[in-house]
Amino acid sequence: MVNRLHKAALTGDEIFATGMRDQWHAVCPSDFVARGDMKKIRRLGEDWLLFRQSDGTLRMLADRCPHRGAPLSQGQHLGDRVACQYHGVQVDGGGTVVSVPGMPGCNLEGKRLVTSLPVQEVAGAVLAWFGTDPDAEPAPLGLPERLTDDGISHFLCYAEWKAPWRFTLENLLDPMHGAFLHRESHSMFGGETSAKFRIRETDRGFFFEKTDQRGVNFDWVEFCRTGIDWVDLEIPYPPTAGPGGSFGIVGMGTPIDAETTAVFFWRYRRVEGWERDVWRFLYRTKLEERHWVVLEQDRTMLEAMAFDADQAENLYQHDLGVIRLRRLYRAQAEAQAKALQEA
């Protein structure tokens, strides 16, 4: 059994700050790790090693040698295993010690002593299961249909923002900011600057939507929990932006630590045949740059906010989605902390 005592000390506040456990999270773009390469990353406040085996299989290990705790990421890639630089201890992709060159046959060999996370690669991104019990099977992963539908074409946009993960998700559960922060953009200049909202329940989460405007601006967002948390939204496009109708976004935010977030945005449109080629050409040559301008507006705003900005708020009806999200995550964090203490 893999040692998980360091996770038992997590409090509800720590989980709320560094991310929910016992669910899937987006980790990084797949092309971050080429075949035969290794990459150190930090996610949910912990250090990890991603390494792609010689056969192309991606592995994710805690970045800590089971011998003396040295970082495996400073070691040597040996095809299907990693050798620690400190004393040469070799660990395979499942976290099992396969060789101790300094003392062959010692009792470390054959034991699974390093946490190894289940991973999947989907739509150009690495997804990993962050479980509190490394011996338990991960929950089923329900993928956003926008990323699996052959009739939809998408591009992955990845960035790292110096803002708490909850700020990035709350930004997406706040459609009204589009009419102000992004009003000068190519896609969110229309519509009213006042609105009424409602929450509409679904079997996988909820919609937060305007009741008096649709198809004009950033008018709705759906928050989904399908083993992984994600949001879906659509923003109307003018005819000059080419075929495909509204422009959609599937968004995820994964905590790097309590103050930094890895953000993932899949930008999509429903296009097939020659229209698909036109959309992808327009995106690369014209629209992508405009989209980054909008994202930079979000990043600049969120990074400028104080870490404890949510402790001095005065909320109103437009913030129902944000309030709902916070209550959900706070309750989950406290429940997970309690389960860890009881374990």
Per residue in 191-237, pLDDT (tens digit) is 678 889 999 999 999 999 999 888 878 889 999 999 999 999 998 88
CATH number at residue 105: 2.102.10.10
Does the pLDDT value for residue 179 go beyond 90?
A: no
285-336 pLDDT per residue, tens? 998 998 999 999 999 999 999 999 988 899 999 999 999 999 999 999 999 9
- Same domain membership, residue 158 and residue 124: no
* Residue 284 burial class via C-beta count within 10 angstroms: exposed 0-12, middle 13-18, buried 19 and up: exposed
pLDDT value at 1 more than 50:
no
Say yes or no to pLDDT of 270 above 50: yes
DSSP 151: T
The number of folded domains in the chain is: 2
Smallest CA-to-CA distance from 178 within 287, 295, 304 is with 295
Whether 198 is in a domain gets the answer yes
Region 54-73: mean pLDDT is 97
Q: How confident is the model at residue 66 (pLDDT cuts 50, 70, 90)?
A: very high
Same domain flag for 74 and 203: no
- 211 and 173 within one domain: yes
pLDDT surpassing 80 at residue 58: yes
pLDDT at 188 over 70: no
Q: Residue 155 has what pLDDT?
A: 96
- Output the pLDDT for position 186: 66
**One domain for residues 277 and 251:** yes
Q: What is the residue range of 54's domain?
A: 23-130
Residues 325, 184 share a domain: yes
| Percentage of the residues of the chain whose pLDDT score is greater than 70 | 96
Q: Quick check: helix, strand or coil at residue 199?
A: strand
Average pLDDT over residues 100-121: 96
CATH number at residue 215: 3.90.380.10
Is 90:98 a contact under the CB 8 Å cutoff? yes
pTM exceeds 0.85 for this model: yes
Q: Report in angstroms the alpha-carbon separations of 235 from 86, 95, 134, 198, 214.
A: 52, 44, 40, 18, 10
Is 16 inside a domain boundary?
no
**2: pLDDT confidence band, cut at 50, 70 and 90?**
low
Lowest-confidence range among 32-46, 192-206, 236-250, 273-287? 236-250
- pLDDT, residue 207, reads 97
Look at residues 152, 157, 155, 156 and name the one whose alpha carbon lies nearest to residue 293. 157
* DSSP output for 210-227: ESS--SSSS-EEEEEESS
| Residues 297, 183: Cα–Cα separation, whole Å | 11
Question: Mean pLDDT score of the chain, rounded to an integer?
Answer: 93
Name the more confident of 110 and 3: 110
Q: Is residue 18 part of a domain?
A: no
Gap between the Cα atoms of 169 and 246, Å rounded: 22
Mark whether 43 and 174 lie in a shared domain. no
Percent of the chain at pLDDT exceeding 90: 80
Residue 278 domain-assigned? yes
pLDDT tens digit string along 132-164? Answer: 887 889 999 999 999 999 999 999 999 999 999
Least confident range of 43-52, 146-155, 181-190: 181-190
204 and 116 assigned to the same domain: no
Whether residue 230 sits in one domain with residue 187: yes
Lowest model confidence (mean pLDDT) among 6-10, 15-19, 247-251, 339-343: 6-10
Res 55: pLDDT: 94
